[in-house]
Amino acid sequence: MNPAYSVILFTVLSGAGYGLLAILGFSAVVGLVMISPAINLTMLVVALVLITAGLVSSTSHLGRPERAWRALSQWRTSWLSREGVFAVITYVPAVLLGIVWITEISPNLRLFTLFNVSSYLWVLGGAGSILSIATVICTGQIYATLRTIPAWYYLLTTPIYLLLSVVSGFVIWMFLMSLFGYKTEPTVILMGVFLLELALILKWVYWRYVDRSDFGVTKADAIGFASLTKVQNLEPAHQTKNYLMREMGYQVARSHSVRLRRFASWTCFIIPGLCLLLMLLAPSYQLIGNMTAVVSLFVGLLTERWLFFAEAKHVVTRYY
C-alpha cells in the first residue's frame, strides 16, 4: 500500500496525543500524580496539540477535506466513521478538564459557578481516558478489518496500534514530568521499559506474520478459473501506471524492509528502553535521557508506520 505521509503523521501524532490524554485522564481518576494544575494543563495542551495536528494532517489525505464532517454519519458500519465520532467526542471531557485546571490556577475566573466541577474530576478523567483509547482502537480496526490486505487483517494489528499509542504517550508524559523537575519513580520507569519491550516483541511477531501471510487467492481465483490453473500476464490492461497500481501496488524491496525493520526496532523500542534504564541508573541524566527517548521513539514510530503501509500487499495486485 502507498505509504501516504498524511496518514503516517496522523496515526503517529494523534496516537501519541491520545496515549498522553489517556494517561493524564487515568492519573486524574486515581488521583495519583495530581502535582499541580499548571503542569496538568500543560500536559493536556500538549496532548490536544498532538491530537489536533494529527487530525488536521489526516484531512489532507482527503480529496474533499471541506466535506470531512460528513464522515461522522456512518458509525453503524464504518470504523473510519466511528474513529471520527470518538475523535470529536474526546474533545469534550478534554476541554472540560482544561477548564477545571484553569479554574484551579486562577479561581477568579469562575468558569463554573453553578456547581463544583472539580469534584467530578475523576469522571472527566475517566471519560477522556476511555474515549482516547476507543479512538485509537477504531483507528486500528479500520486496518484490521480489511480482508483485502492480509498484512493488516490480523489479530495483533489493533493491539499494536493501541500499545504504541499508549507507549508513546507514556514516554512523553515522563518527559514532561522530568521537564518540570519531578523525579520519575523507578517503578514508573520500569513500567515504561516493560511496555516498550512488550511492543517490540509484538511487532516482531507481527513482522514474522507479514512475511508468511498470503492472499489465500491465486491469480487464477482472481479471474474465476480453478485455483491451480497457471495464469501469466500477456497483454497489460494499460501501459502506464494507474491509480490502483500507485495506491495498492506499492512495493518495497525485501533488503530495504529488513534494514528498516532493524532501524525501527532500535529507534522505536531498544534505544528508548535503554534511555529509560539510564534514567534509572543515573537520575542526574533524567532529562537528557528522557528527551533522547522521545526523539528516538518518534523517529522509530514514523519508520514503523511507513513500513506498516509499504509492506502491506493488496489482493488487487493479483490482476497485475
CB of 144 to other proteins, least distance (A): 12
CB of 252 to other proteins, least distance (A): 18
CB of 22 to other proteins, least distance (A): 23
Give the whole-angstrom CA distance, residue 6 versus residue 176.
Answer: 26
- Residue whose C-alpha is closest to residue 51's, from 108, 9, 80, 98: 9
- Residue whose C-alpha is closest to residue 172's, from 26, 318, 13: 13
Q: Which three cell numbers stand for residue 185?
A: 519513580
- Residue whose C-alpha is closest to residue 264's, from 189, 141, 175, 164: 164
Cα dist from 87 to 13, 17, 71, 91, whole Å: 13, 11, 11, 7
Which of 4/53 has CB closer to other proteins? 4
Give the whole-angstrom CA distance, residue 179 versus residue 182.
Answer: 7
Cα dist from 227 to 150, 151, 220, 222, 231, whole Å: 18, 21, 5, 9, 10
Residue 110: other Cβ atoms inside 10 A? 8
Which of 96/149 has CB closer to other proteins? 149
Integer-rounded Cα radius of gyration of the chain: 22
Provide the binding-site residues for other proteins, judged by CB under 8 A. 1, 61-65, 67-68, 70-74, 76-81, 84, 142, 145-149, 216-217, 219-226, 229-238, 240-244, 247-248, 314-316, 319
As a three-state string, the secondary structure of 85-101 is: HHHHHHHHHHHHHHHHH
CB of 130 to other proteins, least distance (A): 22
Q: Are 303 and 264 in contact (CB under 8 A)?
A: yes
Which of 120/153 has CB closer to other proteins? 153
Amino acid at 133: I
Which of 52/74 has CB closer to other proteins? 74
Which of 121/312 has CB closer to other proteins? 312
CB of 54 to other proteins, least distance (A): 15
Q: Which three cell numbers stand for residue 44?
A: 493536556
CB of 71 to other proteins, least distance (A): 4
Q: What are phi and psi of 196, to 5 degrees?
A: -60, -45
Question: Is the CA virtual torsion 244, 245, 247, 250 positive or negative?
Answer: positive
CB of 231 to other proteins, least distance (A): 5
CB of 96 to other proteins, least distance (A): 27
Which of 188/222 has CB closer to other proteins? 222
Q: Are 158 and 141 in contact (CB under 8 A)?
A: yes
CB of 87 to other proteins, least distance (A): 12
Which of 239/255 has CB closer to other proteins? 239
Which of 108/240 has CB closer to other proteins? 240
Q: Which three cell numbers stand for residue 114?
A: 453553578
